[in-house]
A = this chain, B = another copy of it.
């Protein structure tokens, strides 16, 4: 980029909101899992939608690549520029206002740079619930959550990020501003555009604000940590729980023994809630809009039924809020607990819910055929058909050697996923990590439509190049 152009970009946000030295830029290029590398000479921190519009208009005019970046917590390299150093990073963190909270209408209007947790807190202070919830909530930004259509533990009862959005404001690659900050439940006036931008990972434009749905806060909530023999038993429990509790079933997370061992060993404050070891565990949460007693009675009836049926073989019901937090801490620590165990080959997959047990059997067989001592630590959102199918290296193996097996293990796992009509990216997205693979597995007509939309919306090809498609 020549100095003249560079100065024009900087002038849009003002010098103090541009990062120009490599020292200042470094944090924007450091990706927390050390998996991707990238280069850039300029980070811009716009204050508002107008500045984003000016940046993108200039970028399209001068064919300058732009990589949007929120909290930089993504898992597929979507917020990282390539190694050419040609791209500007547009960081949304300064656009962090809650524009409006409408408690009667049950909506909150937020800017892209709001931290997810601050959106949850703003809702909570207004006596409402914003149910999107995930491990990175203390640092991820809502703009990134929407661009990647985040899932998380609340998706079971409330849907994924896409389902929580009523309206969007988006700056198009040309700098035009799409004003669709709609707060209506029903609006059939033409093509639905918002769902194109949600999940597009910043390749079609930059989401600058959104109208999100709020929900009533549950009046009662109970959590239990249950032991089971098999994933098939967990599926049986899930289906009975849905039948007993319906929409009141607000979390259903599957965990293997290995995950409980890893977290107890490596993560502060985690201990196994049960005295005996069991092969599988489920963290279940039941919420009631009526009362604490109602939530308790729903859970008690379910547990009585499922213990009698031999499905639940042991368990602990949280006796206090802090005990419930301990159960959740165990679940949420599962990702980080794998790192001290060496190399981990990870998959974020989904299959139809009822296929989870047979998929797990097939996948275990396939993985152990490749590496008989691999340690499978598959856990996650069983009720959404979504597993983090992670595989830790054999004890004492060489980390790099094991990670190199990714080249055979991932194709084997993904081939099974596709056999089950599943998805190779359930909630993390495509980014740069799965871009080549997507081109191989996606319906060719869908791919062609995606490419046509991309070319049409972003004729200069400036928006987050080489991501997704």
Point out residues on A near B: beta carbons under 8 Å.
102, 104-107, 148-149, 151, 155, 160, 162-163, 172, 176-180, 182-193, 195-196, 198-200, 204, 216, 239, 242-248, 289-290, 298, 350-355, 381, 384-386, 421-430, 434, 438, 441-443, 445-450, 452-453, 456-457, 468-469
A261 to B289, CA, bound (A): 37
Q: Which of B178, B186, B446 contacts A386 (CB 8 A)?
A: B186
Most buried by B among A188, A198, A430, A438: A188
Q: Are B179 and A429 in touch, CB under 8 angstroms?
A: no
Q: Are B216 and A449 in touch, CB under 8 angstroms?
A: no
Residues of B within 8 A of A429 (CB): 188
User: Could you jot down 10 A-B contacts, CB within 8 Å?
Assistant: A176-B448, A179-B445, A186-B386, A188-B425, A189-B425, A189-B441, A190-B199, A191-B196, A191-B200, A192-B195
Top 10 nearest A-B pairs (CB, nearest first) are A246-B289, A195-B195, A104-B354, A187-B423, A186-B426, A247-B247, A105-B352, A178-B445, A186-B386, A192-B195
Q: 4 new A-B pairs (CB below 8 Å) besides A192-B198, A456-B456?
A: A184-B385, A188-B427, A193-B450, A453-B453
Q: Are A188 and B442 in touch, CB under 8 angstroms?
A: no
Q: Are A160 and B178 in touch, CB under 8 angstroms?
A: no
Residues of B within 8 A of A453 (CB): 191, 453, 456
Q: Are A469 and B192 in touch, CB under 8 angstroms?
A: no
Q: Which of B155, B243, B248, B430 contacts A189 (CB 8 A)?
A: B430
Min CB gap A354→B, angstroms:
4
Q: Which of B162, B353, B428, B446 contacts A193 (CB 8 A)?
A: B446
A242 to B190, CA, bound (A): 30
Q: Are B216 and A184 in touch, CB under 8 angstroms?
A: no
Q: Which of B102, B151, B180 contacts A186 (CB 8 A)?
A: B151
Residues of B within 8 A of A183 (CB): 352, 421
User: Chain B residue with minimal CB distance to A150?
Assistant: B188
Residues of B within 8 A of A163 (CB): 163
Q: Do A190 and B450 contact each other (CB < 8 Å), given the known contacts A216-B243, A423-B184?
A: yes
Min CB gap A296→B, angstroms:
14
Q: Do A184 and B289 contact each other (CB < 8 Å), given the known contacts A178-B449, A196-B192, A200-B191?
A: no
